[in-house]
Structure 1
């Protein structure tokens, strides 16, 4: 555990770092939570004055987390090339790295990855044990093929496939009961953001997970504003940090202080090698869930290595 000093309201305060971030009592800032503003066609979060804040590196047992969601992309040939690039990449040591190929290629990826640090995730799972569920993939099958994680609640599953909060919560609960890690996605649509409902939507989605799961030990939360996924638009570091901070505050108030401190909250939405370092500097951004850029081995490695932007500010 590291200790640094910082100034809060003119007084020097000793700040302890354990795991991902500092652990001192957080002032209730509910009264000063910024409102969402709609300015012409651009919507952005109002800035929040929170005073001097230190940014923690991944100390203790906490690690930066970077996931690559390959979605419904690739062929045997292109995935072979991508895995070769990942095998040749130099990755910073203190990062959990996970890639999520299409299910039909998981075996190929698992058998051709020589970098044992890169873990495998599935992109979906069923709500319970396998059986007469045509087209579905069971948690047991995911584990049998060598994957240790599953991506759940992604906006494309919610808004294209039609999965609702409770259904996603059931999937998460069953995956966790079988010791499969869950990358639990949340995020708002553009119209929800414009209506000032970002916090409301994210909290509703969080509550569905919280109502269903009994432990948060193997959950990573991925905040992905839907308007930024695959559009080239990305939340500013300040916008992303404000939502991540609000999510952590919700966990503190509705689950526990320990869960709020330990749970990694990662950002997704047009993350690339050019913007990842600035995003990574934000205190409550503990990594990334990467879409298109994860299909380029060199760029994905650069995003993984953006962990070096995390510094302890003395």
Structure 2
């Protein structure tokens, strides 16, 4: 089976206004013929405008989260169907900031994945351990447990990716060593194959957590790393393109 096509996705988090669309256009203009798929996940309010601004380019637009229901009395929430209607093609689910700050469980994440599939959005499902869990030697158990609990059977035959984000590395400037990243990615691959059979070998496993132009090449060429989920460095075209070109 051939290796999965890499995916490099930028998560803008709660950053960006209409003026930021110029950065997105600059990213689209600079992507060129890189071997990876490239996506930007802006705040929900920018989804439609960004999808229009990037129409015809190689850059996909994604959402940062979606509710598990298709519609209802959920003030302030966004459904997967709404994101798709606004032009999104992918959606990040189970990000550590959602798991820790909003107490999202594996079951909740799995329900959101099902909603994304109903809306024909490609899920990027995030997993990762805290610093306390890593120090306790539980990183592999925690991460593979999240894979098993967050990926419903409905994903069989669908296009999706898993993003490994060590919670302690997000926004801190800290990064695991390459052997540490490879160890976790191999464990994730094993869990994917266990759950989805040989099809699990075709799922890209992204790394996320303080990815920058200066460390991107080493990370992206590590064993079982199939791309990156980029935070702050995706807000500026020069930085994000430096990561894309590191492939």
Give me the TM-score of the superposition, normalised by structure 2: 0.95
Alignment match, 1:74: 16
d(CA) in 1 for partners of 2:136, 2:79? 38
* Kept after mapping to 1: 8 A contact 2:28/2:59: no
Instruction: Note the 1:261-280 alignment, pairs <5 A.
Output: 261-280=201-220
Greater helix percent: which structure? 2
- Residues in 2 aligned to 1:200 and 1:163: alpha-carbon distance in whole angstroms: 18
Match of 1:182 in 2: 123
Unpaired runs of 5+ residues, structure 1, are 1-17, 21-61, 308-314
Q: Secondary structure, in 3 states, of the residue corresponding to 2:223?
A: coil
The separation in 2 between residues aligned to 1:76 and 1:211, in whole angstroms, is 36
The structural deviation recorded for 1:147 is 0.4
Which secondary structure state, in structure 2, belongs to the residue aligned with residue 221 of structure 1? Answer: strand
Q: Counterparts of 1:91 and 1:246 in 2: how far apart (Å)?
A: 33
Cα distance in 2 for residues equivalent to 1:164 and 1:187: 13
Q: CA deviation at 1:178?
A: 2.8
More displaced 10-residue stretch of structure 1: 112-121 or 128-137: 112-121
Distance in 2 between residues matched to 1:295 and 1:130, nearest whole Å: 31
Q: Distance in 2 between matches of 1:90 and 1:171?
A: 30
Whichever structure has more strand as a proportion of its residues is 1
Q: How many residues align?
A: 247
**Partner-residue secondary structure (3-state), 1:306:** coil
How many Å separate the matches in 2 of 1:76 and 1:129?
27
Greater gyration radius: 1
Matched residue, 1:198: 139
Q: Secondary structure at the match of 2:52?
A: helix
Counterpart selection for 2:186 from 242, 245, 252? 245
CA RMSD across the alignment? 1.5
The CA deviation at 1:244 is: 0.2
Does the 8 Å contact 1:69/1:289 carry over to 2? yes
Q: Distance in 2 between matches of 1:120 and 1:88?
A: 15
Q: Mean Cα displacement is larger for which, 209-218 or 94-103?
A: 209-218
1:114 Cα deviation after fit: 5.5
Tell me which residue corresponds to 2:64: 123
Query: Paired residue for 2:238?
Result: 298
Aligned pair 1:148/2:89, yes or no?
A: yes
TM-score (norm 1): 0.75
Q: d(CA) in 1 for partners of 2:184 and 2:231?
A: 20
Residue 130 of structure 1 deviates from its aligned partner by 0.9
Q: How does 1:98-177 map to 2 (within 5 A)?
A: 98-113=39-54, 116-177=57-118
Shift of 1:241: 0.8
Structure 2 residue aligned with 1:19: 2
Q: Distance in 2 between matches of 1:221 and 1:265?
A: 5
Q: Report if aligned partners of 2:84, 2:120 keep a CA contact under 8 Å in 1.
A: no
Separation of aligned partners in 1, 2:9 and 2:178: 19
CA distance in 1, matches of 2:9, 2:28: 16
Whether contact under 8 Å (2:47, 2:86) holds in the other structure is yes
User: C-alpha distance in 2, partners of 1:294/1:216?
Assistant: 30
Contact 1:64 1:94 (8 Å CA) reproduced: yes
The alpha-carbon deviation at position 212 of structure 1 amounts to 5.2
